[in-house]
Chains A and B, each alone.
Chain A
Amino acid sequence: MIDYALILTANYKGSSWQLNGETYDGLTWNSDTEKPTKKVLDDQWVSVQAELKAQKQAAIDVRASAIAKLAALGLTADEIAAL
């Protein structure tokens, strides 16, 4: 199911809107800008999902890198976990 709240959060920063429920029908657009159509938002869903996935992977990679650097400094796995 398309997550309209996530699309709006990712691509319409600074806009004012309210979404009741999960469907486009629940969207109230409060900004002076034109309310995006359902099709416009639907078309952005794939890229928003990819962006979120990339963000999640980036966070995993940063954590793994930090653990590797700490291990290289001589910290044990228990000591790293305690941080």
Chain B
Amino acid sequence: MGANAQTTVQKFLSGAVLTAEQQNTSAATGVPVFASTVTRDAAFGGANKVLAEGQTCYLEDANVVQYYDGAAWATVGPTAAAKVLQVLSTAKLDIYSASGAFANITGLSVAITPSSVSSKILIMASVTGAGGGAAMGGFKLRLTGGNSANYIGDAAGVRQRVAGAAQGGVTGEHGAVATIVYLDSPATTAAITYQVQGQGMTTSETMFLNRAVVDTDNTTQWRGASSITVMEISG
């Protein structure tokens, strides 16, 4: 049985004597309020103070009730839910095409300034397009900004490591949508620009954004839209 364990709930009658032990038990099993975990730990430190299983407290900065389980403090009930602190998005509605190595897709980027170093940034990019000029027909995508450049597949021989890819195009009217969803932990409050980079399936193939390879002006053809959206999530 721990130091805070009780076998009865004291009821005082008229003329009864309140002992030091009874007062100490009352103080230890109440719900003391502290500004933070720092002041809490300081309050239970020092000589003649016993932090024992069953001790509870309330933390003002986090607005939570905690209990001590004999080894560590635990929060009562669910922890505070993560909150979306800000949402930013860029839509690219015009067409773009490029041939060669990976390059920034003009206009498919978004800048965000995290409000806290503990915030996470959820990045969502949707890219509509096609690839042409070679037999494969398709395009590949990468992200830059924060730690997002690390969001690529594992190394495997000489294969190109990318964040997303889609097959569609060659010489026809086909199109494809590639999406990238990545949760970044940039650990900064400085502005970050998340940028989508694109490339055809080979460096000699063209990536067509928001259009098919064949783009004749008739009702069977199409023009698409692409976007990048970022959400700051409280850490």
Contacts and interface: CB of A to CB of B under 8 A. Distances in A.
Given A20-B106, A21-B95, A13 B133 contact: yes
B204 A13 contact: yes
Interface centre among A10, A20, A52 (most CB of B within 10 A): A20
A43 interface: no
Interface in A1-25: 1, 3, 5-6, 8-10, 12-22
Interface residues of A, number: 23
Q: B-side binding surface: helix, strand, loop or mixed? A: loop
B99 A1 contact: no
A52 B213 CA distance: 10
A55 interface: yes
B99 A22 contact: no
Contact of A14 (B98, B204, B214, B215): B204
Contact of B100 (A3, A5, A31): A31
Contact of A16 (B203, B214, B217): B203
Interface residues of B, number: 23
A9 to B, nearest CB: 4
A47 B215 CA distance: 16
B101 A19 contact: no
A18 to B, nearest CB: 4
Contacts of A31: 100
A39 interface: no
Contact of B96 (A8, A15, A20, A52): A20
A9 B213 contact: yes
B60 interface: no
B171 A17 contact: no
B106 A18 contact: yes
B207 to A, nearest CB: 10
B184 to A, nearest CB: 26
B133 A15 contact: no
B98 A55 contact: no
Contacts of A18: 96-98, 100, 103, 106
B132 interface: yes
Contacts of A12: 99
A82 to B, nearest CB: 21
B208 interface: yes
Contact of A8 (B99, B103, B215): B99
A15 B99 contact: yes
B41 interface: no
Interface in B210-224: 213-215, 217
9 contacts: A5-B215, A6-B132, A12-B99, A15-B100, A18-B100, A19-B98, A21-B94, A21-B96, A30-B103
Given A16-B101, A18-B98, 20 more contacts: A5-B95, A5-B208, A6-B132, A6-B215, A8-B97, A9-B97, A9-B205, A9-B213, A12-B99, A13-B133, A15-B99, A15-B100, A16-B99, A17-B98, A18-B96, A18-B100, A18-B106, A19-B97, A20-B96, A55-B171
